[in-house]
Amino acid sequence: MSRNEEFLKKAAALLPKLHHMCISPLTPYRGRTLKAGESLCLDFGDHYVGTVTLKLSFTGSHPDAPAWLRFKFAERECELSENAAEYHGWISKGWIQQEEVHIDVLPAEISLPRRYAFRYLQIKVLDLSSKFDLTVESIEADTVTSADDGALASYACQDAELEQIYAVACRTLRECMQTVFEDGPKRDRRLWMGDLRLQALANYETYKNYDMVKACLYLLAGDTLPDGAVGACLFLEPRIEVDDTRMFDYSLLFVAALRDYVSVTHDGDTARELWPTAKRQIELAKAFFDGRGIVRDSDRLGWCFVDWNLRLNKQASAQGIYLYCVQAAIELAAALGIMRDAQELLAEYAEKKSAALSWLRDGRGLFVSGEERQLSWASQIWMVLGGVVEGQEAAKLLCAIEHEANAEKMVTPYMVHYYVDALISCGQREKALAVLRSYWGGMVKEGADTFWELWNPEDPGESPYGGTIVNSYCHAWSCAPAYFLQKYFGK
Amino acid sequence: MSRNEEFLKKAAALLPKLHHMCISPLTPYRGRTLKAGESLCLDFGDHYVGTVTLKLSFTGSHPDAPAWLRFKFAERECELSENAAEYHGWISKGWIQQEEVHIDVLPAEISLPRRYAFRYLQIKVLDLSSKFDLTVESIEADTVTSADDGALASYACQDAELEQIYAVACRTLRECMQTVFEDGPKRDRRLWMGDLRLQALANYETYKNYDMVKACLYLLAGDTLPDGAVGACLFLEPRIEVDDTRMFDYSLLFVAALRDYVSVTHDGDTARELWPTAKRQIELAKAFFDGRGIVRDSDRLGWCFVDWNLRLNKQASAQGIYLYCVQAAIELAAALGIMRDAQELLAEYAEKKSAALSWLRDGRGLFVSGEERQLSWASQIWMVLGGVVEGQEAAKLLCAIEHEANAEKMVTPYMVHYYVDALISCGQREKALAVLRSYWGGMVKEGADTFWELWNPEDPGESPYGGTIVNSYCHAWSCAPAYFLQKYFGK
C-alpha cells in the first residue's frame, strides 16, 4: 500500500470528537421478573449508536447458578424475531448484534462488550436456576455521534411528509457520523468512498461539518493501493489501513467528492494538495478502456459497485461514472488554474462520450450494457449524469426506461440517490420529488427511524447477503433526502 | 438468617491467599490458521482452575468483519463433543463452560470473562469473513489454588496403581481448594457442608491447611438459617450468605467436621466457641423424630442428601447419620469437659440406636428404609457408621448387602467414601482397599485427571441432572483415597 504520513497526520488532527449522551429505554422494565426462557424487549424510542450498561439483580433465593443471558440489539423491531442460526449467507454472522453472557454473581453491573446500533434491545434468559428470578434494575446506553445536533439546519416546508422524510434522513446521517463517516453503524462501520461522497453532500446541507469531510478525504488519499488508486474503503483500527478492495467507480468518486468539497468550501489548499490523488484516479481508470473507448466489461465480482442488484451488468454505468468524474476533474483543474490538465481532460471526455454514444446505444436510443446488451435503469442514469445525453433528451431517456419491464431495477437507496440527481439534472424536479416521496417515504411508512441500506419496495425481504439479519438499517448512503430536500425543495 | 459477625470476621482473617501459576497448552497451535467453521482443541496436560487470556491475529486481508468465536472448556475431553443445545436437564445451562465472543479488531488480546475448570479448551470459529483466517498467537492461563504444592504429604507404597490413585485424589482436592473448599471448581464452586467434611479429612492427611478448615467452620457457623441450623451451603459473593437449602444430614455433619478438626488440631478455643452451633444441630434434628424414636420420612426432595441415587429412600440413612453425629457430639462434649451435655447425649444416643434396632431391621437383620421398607447400601453403611451394629456383625451386614441384587446402590464417590469408612470401622481393611482400587482406580482407568462428582461403573453416562454436560469432573467429595490411603494404607 502507498502511505502518505503527512496526509494521515493532517486527517488525524481534523477528525471529530464524539458527543456522548446517556439514554434509557422508554419501555417500563423495573419490577419485571424474568425466569428461564423468558425475555424482555426494550424500546429506546429512536435509533442510537453506543454501548450499554445494565444493573441486574434477582428476587427469590440467593442465586445458586450463573445466569445465562442473550442480548440482541435491533435497529428494526422485526430483526428481533430473526434467528441467527438460520442465517447462512456469505457475509459473516459476526455482524449479528447478539451477545451471550454468563453472570456468576448477582447483583451485577455489566457492560456489554461492543458498540451497537439499535433502537430495540431484547434480553432473553437462556437459562437460570429455578431458585431465583432475574430483575433488571437499570439499563443505560452511552450513545455517541460526532454530529452536532445544535448545528443541524432546520427544514420547514409546510409538508409533514417531507419534513418527516428529512428528519429520518438527518437521523440516518447523524448516526453514521462517528469518528469518520461510517457506511452504517451496525455494518460495516467503515469509511467507504462511495458512501462518503453521498454523506458529504447531505452533511453540507445539514450538519455542515466540513472538517470531517476534509479529514476523510485526506485519510483516503493518505493510504491508497500500491498504484495510487483510492481503495474502496479504509480501516481505522488497529491502525489506518486501506482495504485491498478495488472498485472502478469508488476510486473515481474520490474526484467527485473532492470537487464537491472544494465547490462548497472554496478550500484551495486542500484542492491543490489532493489534486494529484484525484488526477491519478482518472489515469488509472483509463487503463480499463478498450480500443473503441469503452470500459472493458469484467467478470470479477465487485469490479465496479453501482448497486446491489446482483444481476446488473456494470459496463455502461462504469462508462457514465467515468465521464461524470472526468467532468468533476475538469472543474477541479479549472478551479486550480491547471489549464493543461483541463485541456487534456476535456479531450478525454469528448472521446469517451462519443464512444458511449457510438457503441452503447440500441436502436431506440436506450443505453445497453455488456455483451448481452442488458437494459437497466443504472445505465441510463449514469449516462445522464455523465452528460452523454442532456436536457430534454435525458428526460426522455429516464422516462423511457420506466416502460421497460425487463430493465434491471435499482435496489439500493445509493443508486436511487443518483436517479434523483439525474432527474434534477435534466429539469425533472417534480418527478424527483415524487421519487423522494415514494421511495424514502415508503420506508417511513414501513416505520423507518433511519433509512435502510437496501429497499426494494417490490421485495421488502431482499438481501444481497443471503439473509436480512445482516442488513444494515441505518445506512448513510440512504440519507439522500437530507441533501435534495434542503437544496432543492426548501420553502 | 442468623449472622454472627464475630465468627465471620474470624473466618475472613483465616481464609487463604490464592497461589497463581501461569501455564500454556501442550498442544502446538502457533502457525495454525482457522477458517469459518474450523476449530482448535488445546490440551493443557492436567486439570487446572483459572482465567484465560489469548492473543489472536489473522492472515490474509485486513479483517472486514468481526470474528465470532466460541470457547468451550472441558475437564474431560469427552465433554467437547457434547452439545449444550441438547441439554434440557433441571440444573441451569449456565454452568456449561462455554463463551461466545465477538472480536471487532484484530490483532487482539482478549481475556475470557470467567474462571474456568479445565484441561481442554476448544476454540471454534463460529464465523469469519472469507477475506482472512484467524491465528492464535498465544494462550495463557492464570491458574489458581490455595493448596500449597510444597506442603503436600508424599505417598510411596511401592504400588503404582495406589500411588496414581493418591495423586489424582490430591489433584482433585488441590483444584477444589480455592478461597474456601469448593465442592467443584466447575460447579457449584461453593462451600457445601457435607463436601467440606470429606475435604477436610483429606486435607489433614495431605496439604494440612488447618486454618482453611477452621475458616470454613466459622463461616458456616457465622451465617446459619434463622433457627440456627447450619445451611447446606454458603455463598461468598457478593457477600457471605447462607443458602436457604436445609438438609438434615448436611446440618448434622457440621458436628462431625468440628469433631474431626478438634481431634486433629487440639484447638480447644475453636471447639469451645463452635460447640453451641454443633449442639444446636443435634437439638434441631431431634424434632425430626417420631414417637418411636425413628426419623420421620419425608417426600420433600432433598430433605436429606445421602447420595445422588434418586430412587434412594433416606429414612434409615438419616437415622444412622444422626447417631454418627451424636457420637461426634459426645466426643466433643467430653473433650470440652461439659459432662452434663455428654450425659444427655449418651442417653439420646442409646434411645435412638435402640429404636433403629427395633424398627428398621427386617427379619434377616438388614436395615430397611421408608414405608416400602427399601433395601439399600446406604442404609447399612450409615447404620454401621452410626454404631447401631459393630464389629463382626457390621462386617456381616456389609457383606450381606452385596448379595442383594435389588438393593439400591451408591452412585457418588461421596457415599462410597462412607462405605470405605464403614468397612474400615469394622476391620475390613482389605475389602476397603479393594474398593479404593476398583472404584477410584476405575476412574483412573477411564482417564481421570481428577475424580468425578458421579461415577456409576454400571452406567458411566449417569447424571442426576438430566445430562452429563453439567456434571463436575473435579469434585472434592471424591478425594477419599487421599485420606484413606495416607491414613491407613501407607508404607
| Domains of chain B from N-terminus onward | 19-145 (2.60.120.260), 155-488 (1.50.10.10)
Record the cell numbers describing residue B122, joined without a space.
476448544
Å between A345 CA and nearest CA of chain B: 35
Minimal Cβ distance to B92: which of A68, A113, A238:
A68
Q: How many residues does chain B have?
A: 491
B66-100, pLDDT tens digit by residue? 999 999 999 999 999 999 999 999 999 999 999 99
List CB contacts (< 8 A) between B128 and chain A. 92, 94
- B171, B145 Cβ separation under 8 angstroms: no
Rounded CA gap, B386 and B409, in Å? Answer: 19
Question: Are B129 and A94 inside 8 Å of each other by CB?
Answer: yes
Rounded CA gap, A432 and A424, in Å? Answer: 6
Chain B residues within 8 A (CB-CB) of chain A?
Answer: 36, 61-62, 64-68, 90-96, 99-102, 104-107, 113-114, 126-130, 187-188, 190, 235, 237-238, 241, 243-245
Helix (H) or strand (E) holding B257: helix B248-265
Record the cell numbers describing residue A255, joined without a space.
474526484
List CB contacts (< 8 A) between A113 and chain B. 101-102
Question: Are B94 and A114 inside 8 Å of each other by CB?
Answer: no
Give me the pLDDT at residue A489, please: 95
Rounded CA gap, A442 and A434, in Å? Answer: 11
Question: Are B105 and A67 inside 8 Å of each other by CB?
Answer: no
Question: Are B68 and A93 inside 8 Å of each other by CB?
Answer: yes
- B376 secondary structure, DSSP code: B
Interface probe for B, chosen from A64, A68, A92 (most Cβ of B below 10 Å), is A92
**Whole-Å CA distances, B480 to B324, B405, B432:** 18, 26, 11
Rg (CA), chain A: 24
Mean per-residue pLDDT, B185-210: 98
- Contacts by A426-431, CB closer than 8 A, 24 or more apart: A426/A384, A426/A390, A426/A391, A426/A392, A426/A394, A426/A395, A426/A398, A427/A391, A427/A395, A428/A395, A428/A398, A429/A488, A429/A489, A431/A398
Bridge partners, residue A144, by sequence? A20
- The dihedral over CA atoms of B427, B433, B438, B439, expressed in degrees to the nearest 10, equals 80
Question: Are B99 and A100 inside 8 Å of each other by CB?
Answer: yes
Rounded CA gap, B213 and B230, in Å? Answer: 15
List CB contacts (< 8 A) between A128 and chain B. 92, 94
In a 10 Å sphere around its CB, with 0-12 CB exposed, 13-18 middle and 19+ buried, how is residue A9 labelled? exposed
Rg (CA), chain B: 24
Question: Are B126 and A93 inside 8 Å of each other by CB?
Answer: yes
Question: Are B243 and A61 inside 8 Å of each other by CB?
Answer: yes
pLDDT at B491 exceeding the cut of 70: no
Angle A220-A225-A229 from CA coordinates, rounded to 5°: 70
Minimal Cβ distance to A92: which of B61, B106, B129:
B129
Interface probe for B, chosen from A3, A62, A186 (most Cβ of B below 10 Å), is A62
Residues near B327 by beta carbon (within 8 Å), at least 6 away in sequence? B349, B386, B387
pTM, entire model: 0.96
Going residue by residue through chain A (491 aa), what tens digit of pLDDT does each one get? Answer: 589 999 999 999 999 999 999 999 999 999 899 999 999 999 999 999 999 999 999 999 999 999 999 999 999 999 999 999 999 999 999 999 999 999 999 999 999 999 999 999 999 999 999 999 999 999 999 999 999 999 999 999 999 999 999 999 999 999 999 999 999 999 999 999 999 999 999 999 999 999 999 999 999 999 999 999 999 999 999 999 999 999 999 999 999 999 999 999 999 999 999 999 999 999 999 999 999 999 999 999 899 999 999 999 999 999 999 999 999 999 999 999 999 999 999 999 999 999 999 999 999 999 999 999 999 999 999 999 999 999 999 999 999 999 999 999 999 999 999 999 999 999 999 999 999 999 999 999 999 999 999 999 988 888 899 999 999 999 999 999 999 999 999 86
- A478, A172 Cβ separation under 8 angstroms: yes
Mean per-residue pLDDT, B49-65: 97
- A417, A485 Cβ separation under 8 angstroms: no
Q: Of B416, B409, B412, B410, nearest to B472 (Cα)?
A: B412
Record the cell numbers describing residue A440, joined without a space.
424514502
Question: Are A66 and B127 inside 8 Å of each other by CB?
Answer: no
Cα four-point dihedral sign A25, A31, A34, A38: negative
Give me the pLDDT at residue B322, please: 98
ipTM over 0.85: yes
Record the cell numbers describing residue B474, joined without a space.
473435579
Indicate the SS3 state at residue B143. strand
Q: What b-and-e string marks burial along A182-209, b requiring 16 or more CB atoms within 10 Å of the CB?
A: bbbbbbbbbbbbbbbbbbbbbbbbbbbb
A238: nearest CA partner in chain B: B105
- % of chain B surpassing 90 pLDDT: 97
A100: nearest CA partner in chain B: B100
Å between A26 CA and nearest CA of chain B: 28
User: Counting one residue from A and one from B, how many pairs have CB atoms under 8 Å apart?
Assistant: 102
Question: Are A114 and B104 inside 8 Å of each other by CB?
Answer: yes
Give me the pLDDT at residue B117, please: 98
Question: Are A235 and B190 inside 8 Å of each other by CB?
Answer: no
Mean pLDDT in chain B? 97
Helix (H) or strand (E) holding B103: strand B98-103
List CB contacts (< 8 A) between B61 and chain A. 243-244
pLDDT at B327 exceeding the cut of 60: yes
Interface probe for A, chosen from B92, B131, B132 (most Cβ of A below 10 Å), is B92
- A433, A489 Cβ separation under 8 angstroms: yes
Chain A residues within 8 A (CB-CB) of chain B?
Answer: 36, 61-62, 64-68, 90-96, 99-102, 104-107, 113-114, 126-130, 187-188, 190, 235, 237-238, 241, 243-244
In a 10 Å sphere around its CB, with 0-12 CB exposed, 13-18 middle and 19+ buried, how is residue B228 labelled? middle
Rounded CA gap, A118 and B292, in Å? Answer: 68
**Whole-Å CA distances, B23 to A481, B43, B168, B447:** 58, 11, 19, 21
- B174, B45 Cβ separation under 8 angstroms: no
Mean per-residue pLDDT, B179-192: 98
List CB contacts (< 8 A) between B187 and chain A. 65
- B383, B316 Cβ separation under 8 angstroms: yes
List CB contacts (< 8 A) between B92 and chain A. 36, 65-68, 127-129
Q: Of A355, A352, A333, A343, nearest to A255 (Cα)?
A: A333
- B306, B417 Cβ separation under 8 angstroms: no
Q: Phi-psi category of B239—alpha, beta or left, where left has phi over 0 and alpha has psi -120 to 50?
A: beta
**At B1, is the pLDDT very low, low, confident or very high (cuts 50, 70, 90)?**
low
B192: nearest CA partner in chain A: A64
**Whole-Å CA distances, A100 to A112, A122, A372, B67, B367:** 10, 12, 49, 15, 51
Rounded CA gap, A418 and A385, in Å? Answer: 8
Q: Of B179, B349, B394, nearest to B255 (Cα)?
A: B349
Rounded CA gap, A159 and A182, in Å? Answer: 30
Question: Are A94 and B68 inside 8 Å of each other by CB?
Answer: yes
Record the cell numbers describing residue B17, joined without a space.
491467599
Question: Are A104 and B114 inside 8 Å of each other by CB?
Answer: yes
Question: Are A105 and B237 inside 8 Å of each other by CB?
Answer: yes
A125: nearest CA partner in chain B: B94
List CB contacts (< 8 A) between B71 and chain A. none
Question: Are A102 and B114 inside 8 Å of each other by CB?
Answer: yes
Peptide linkage before A269 cis (omega within 30 of 0) = no
Å between A336 CA and nearest CA of chain B: 36
Question: Are B126 and A238 inside 8 Å of each other by CB?
Answer: no
- B58, B107 Cβ separation under 8 angstroms: yes
Record the cell numbers describing residue B152, joined without a space.
503436600
Interface probe for B, chosen from A64, A115, A132 (most Cβ of B below 10 Å), is A64
**Whole-Å CA distances, B177 to A259, B48, B190, B398:** 70, 12, 11, 33
Question: Are B129 and A90 inside 8 Å of each other by CB?
Answer: no
Question: Are A104 and B127 inside 8 Å of each other by CB?
Answer: no
Minimal Cβ distance to B94: which of A66, A107, A190:
A66
Question: Are B235 and A62 inside 8 Å of each other by CB?
Answer: yes
Q: Of B144, B260, B269, nearest to B202 (Cα)?
A: B260
The number of CA neighbours under 13 Å toward the Cβ of A23 is 22
DSSP string, B12-55: HHHPPPPEEEEE--SS--TT-EE-TT-EEEEEEEEEEEEEEEEE
List CB contacts (< 8 A) between B105 and chain A. 237-238
Give me the pLDDT at residue B2, please: 83
Rounded CA gap, B426 and B428, in Å? Answer: 6
Question: Are B128 and A67 inside 8 Å of each other by CB?
Answer: no
